[in-house]
Amino acid sequence: MRFDVITLFPELFAPFLASGVTRRAYESKQVEVVLWNPRDFADGNYRRVDDRPFGGGPGMVMTAEPLSACLDAALAARGAAAPVILFSPIGETLRHEAVERWSAGEGAVLVCGRYEGIDQRFIDARVTHQLSIGDFVLSGGEIPAMALLDAVARLQPGVLGDADSHVQDSFNPALDGLLDCPHYTRPEQWMGETVPPVLLSGHHVQIERWRRDQRLAITQQKRPDLIEAARAAGRLSPADEKALQKKL
């Protein structure tokens, strides 16, 4: 798959694409990332990509023409149409289900806005999807773009050291959309705290039940909406319901 990223700061992506376990996806081209700077498509000596907003107000607005020309070049290089994603506060909140859909597709063009925003005419004419990573504001779309790329890359075959690693992630359908359980490693005692005895028992059935109960308890405490969604989908067993009652 291929992601073309339209950004005024392509240099921000260099360490991201070369670091951590997900670099395997980028190095192998399982997830190909191509960076485009709209300044390269702007006119004039100063290559301006922003201007003052009509109607007044603070800040500057990214102009439509350099973005549109940059997008045309990215789509031409791809050789085919592709979804165009803008990271925006009004977009759909990015969730695991959406990440799985994007990870199984052919990629997209990611538009990273800056300043006070982007000329609405570009959004109306060229953007096909808007995504948000939460109810807060960042200086630009680069960090959300990296978040999507990272989430997609780690789901590609062979990227994680253990093929089952992502199956244990929070929100994964394999865990019925629940949050993950606590994890422990050596030493067995640290600062007076010990590892839960069941994890040292070697009894795999009991260990899995403990982990399931922990996932249920944590999700009920932190994200009860996920418990209700799992219940509505028929994903909770009688043993799950019994464990939830004990924790209430």
pLDDT, tens digit, for every residue of 62-79?
Answer: 999 999 999 999 999 999
169 is known as an active-site residue: yes
Query: Residue 168: what pLDDT?
Result: 63
Residue range 170-247, CATH number: 1.10.1270.20
β partners of residue 62 = 50, 118
- How does DSSP classify residue 179? P
Rounded to an integer, the average pLDDT of 15-25 is 96
Annotated active-site residue in 47, 72, 89, 173 = 89
Query: Residue 107: what pLDDT?
Result: 98
212 is known as an active-site residue: no
Structure tokens at 230: 């799992």
Choose among 236, 246, 239: nearest CA to 177: 236
Residue range 2-153, CATH number: 3.40.1280.10
Rounded to an integer, the average pLDDT of 113-125 is 97
pTM reported for the whole predicted model: 0.90
Q: Which residue has the higher pLDDT, 190 or 247?
A: 190
154 is known as an active-site residue: yes
Query: Residue 164: what pLDDT?
Result: 58
In degrees and rounded to multiples of 5, residue 39 shows phi and psi of -60, -30
Tell me where in the chain the CATH 1.10.1270.20 domain(s) lie: 170-247
Query: Residue 181: what pLDDT?
Result: 94
Tell me where in the chain the CATH 3.40.1280.10 domain(s) lie: 2-153
